[in-house]
Amino acid sequence: MTATMPGSQSSLREANQRRVIRAVRAAGSLTQAEIARATGLSAATVSNIVRELKEAGTLLVTPTSAGGRRAQSVSLSRRAGLALAVDFGHSHLRVAVGDMAHEVLAEETVPLDVDASAEEGLRVAQRLVEAVLRRAEVDRSEVVGVGLGVPGPIDTRTGTVGSSTILPGWVGVSPQDALAERLGLPVHVDNDANLGALGELVWGAGRGMTDLAYIKVATGVGAGLVIGGRIYRGSGGTAGEIGHITIDDTGKVCRCGNRGCLETFVGAPFLLELLRHSHGELSLHQVITLAKEGDQGSRRVIADAGRHIGVGVANLCNLLNPQAVIVGGELAQAGEILLGPIRETVDRYAIPSAARALTVTQGALGERAEMLGALALVLHESELLPGDVVT
């Protein structure tokens, strides 16, 4: 793209184009009136920019309706490029390819012990990337970036996994650099809770919000924080480690080395241990199913977990005053059996004004939240203009 002088008409037009593209990219699709509201640009300016970007092949414009009136829906075109998502869970790997209009074109999931070996995980990820590109019938050259999610904190200063106790097989590994070397593509990395928050913000229960917390409850517990519409990572990348707030300083020793962390009260291994004597060996999915069928032991264990999570959520409310707490992860599938006790505890322990302003809800994206968040990470990081369009 030709360089422009600051303050010139060309640089102003380019800046306005970027504002329009960012708005459309964040939402997936918008009418021109919605673009004007989102960007603060005049309707006439938006109309001119949309026409220019449509002619350049960056935007697609299709008929729709808004408020009972005819309108034009604006989205990014396939020519604007594609994004890959690589989502590592503790026991699975999920890979997907999607376009800039927020459509998932293909995805694959395989079971995988991610904690054991970074080398093995990255090798399988490379294989799945090739598989989803084949399924979607797209060429690697169309991909503008890869969003990578890992189930542990990322040190933003070094790019390495920030805790050897959470991902022992990844000590000293920079997931971003290692995957970029294998794929030959730009890679953007974040932890799974942050990506879950981003997924719900862009596609799910957090759409239209600017301040929220996403609580992921599965094997462990983590939180992704959105402040002012952006993911908040903290100075070193460990913001949101709600699973390691202290509930009981005489409790069980946590994998982080402290005693009585929230994770030791609500993580899947702890919950399953509570039911082992009365119910035998169960999976978390089975516990949730039993609870929904009325099993009192399973319901009690999940409700108690909700009360413990509620203590952490109440602290978040007092500190950050979010609009919503969105609960995701496998345990969220218990629905109101879990959410009801969370709300009750928040009402008891949070500042009344913060509790009244809070909505506690189940995530809308289920097990795909982190994968969709990884796609959204690429959409947020890329900066495409007509001269940058992938060909």
Question: Is 5 inside any structural domain?
Answer: no
% helix, strand, coil for the chain, step of 5? 45, 20, 30
Q: For residues 167 and 151, is the Cβ–Cβ distance under 8 A?
A: yes
Considering the domain boundaries, does residue 4 fall inside one? no
- Inside any domain, residue 351: yes
Q: Same structural domain for residues 313 and 249? A: yes
CATH number of the domain to which 265 belongs: 3.30.420.40
Helix (H, G, I), strand (E, B) or coil at 271: helix
Kindly state whether residues 59 and 172 are assigned to the same domain. no
- In the three-class reduction of DSSP (H, G, I as helix; E, B as strand; rest coil), residue 363 is classed as coil
Within 8 A by CB and 6+ apart from 129, the residues are 84, 86, 95, 146, 183
CB 371 within 8 A of CB 96: yes
Which tens digits make up the pLDDT trace of 8-23? 778 888 889 889 988 8
- CA nearest 254: which of 187, 178, 166? 166
Q: Which of these ranges, 77-86, 158-167, 343-352, has the smallest mean pLDDT?
A: 158-167
DSSP-derived 3-state class of residue 368 = helix
Q: What is the secondary structure of 117-139 as a DSSP string?
A: -HHHHHHHHHHHHHHHHHHHT--
Average pLDDT across the chain, whole number: 88
- Asked if 292 and 341 sit in the same domain, the reply is yes
Q: Assess if residue 212 is contained within a domain.
A: yes
* Pair 149, 230 in one domain: no
Give the CA-trace dihedral at 214, 218, 220, 222, to 10 degrees: 0
Look up tokens 């970027």; give the residue: 18
Query: What is the extent of the structural domain holding 71?
Result: 11-76
Is there a single domain that holds both residue 144 and residue 234?
A: no
Q: What is the pLDDT of residue 205?
A: 95
* Pair (64, 146) in one structural domain: no
321-379 pLDDT, tens per residue? 999 999 999 999 999 999 999 999 999 999 999 999 999 999 999 988 998 899 888 87
More confident: 342 or 161: 342
Q: For position 345, what pLDDT does the model report?
A: 97
pLDDT in the model for residue 7: 58
Q: What is the number of domains present in the chain? A: 3
Looking at residue 320, its amino acid is L
Q: What is the mean pLDDT of residues 174-181?
A: 93
Q: Calculate the alpha carbon distances from 305 to 113, 114, 268, 292, 348 in Å.
A: 25, 26, 10, 15, 16
- CA dihedral (310, 311, 313, 314) positive or negative: positive
Global confidence as pTM: 0.82
- Contact at 8 Å (CB) between 87 and 192? yes
From 355, 34, 26, 19, select the one nearest 206 (Cα to Cα). Answer: 26
CATH number of domain containing 64: 1.10.10.10
Percent of the chain whose predicted confidence (pLDDT) is above 90: 61
Residue 300 has pLDDT above 80, yes or no: yes
Residues linked to residue 214 through DSSP beta bridges, in sequence order? 224, 326
* Assigned token pair, 255: 């994998």
User: Listing from the earlier edge strand, what are the strands of the sheet with 82-88?
Assistant: 104-111, 92-99, 82-88, 143-150, 187-191
Q: What band does 158 get if pLDDT is binned at 50, 70 and 90?
A: confident
Please enumerate in sequence order all residues whose Cβ is within 8 A of that of 118, keeping only pairs 6 or more positions apart, or say none. Answer: 167, 169, 170, 173, 175, 178
Looking at residue 309, what is its pLDDT? Answer: 97
pLDDT above 60 (res 386): no
User: Does residue 3 lie within any of the structural domains?
Assistant: no
- Distance of alpha carbon 164 from alpha carbon 231, whole angstroms: 24
Of 76, 101, 129, which residue constitutes the final position of a domain?
Answer: 76
pLDDT (mean) for 87-98: 90
Of 366, 326, 328, 114, nearest to 218 (Cα)?
Answer: 328
**Amino acid identity, residue 116?**
A
How much is the average pLDDT of 157-169? 72
Tens-digit pLDDT profile for residues 215-232: 999 988 999 999 998 899
- For residues 304-328, average pLDDT: 96
Per-residue pLDDT at 390: 39
Residue 6 within a domain: no
Judge if 158 and 52 occupy the same domain. no
In a domain, 86, yes or no: yes
Q: Cα(216)–Cα(327) distance, rounded to whole angstroms? A: 6
> Which is more confidently placed, 383 or 176?
176
Considering the domain boundaries, does residue 359 fall inside one?
yes
Q: What is the per-residue pLDDT across 26-54, written as a single tens digit (0 to 9) for each?
A: 777 889 999 999 899 999 999 999 999 88
How high is the pLDDT of residue 76? 81
For 243-262, how does the pLDDT look when each residue is reduced to its tens digit (9 = 90+)?
999 999 999 999 888 999 99
- Give CA–CA dist 240/348, Å, rounded: 22
Mean pLDDT computed over 160-164: 69
pLDDT at 169 over 90: no
pLDDT at residue 303 greater than cutoff 90? yes
Within 10 angstroms of residue 92's Cβ, the number of other Cβ atoms is 15
One domain, residues 72 and 88: no
Of 382, 17, 378, 38, nearest to 208 (Cα)?
A: 38
**Structure confidence at residue 57 (pLDDT):** 82
- The confidence score (pLDDT) of residue 62 equals 87
Per-residue model confidence (pLDDT) at position 244: 93
For residue 184, pLDDT beyond 50? yes
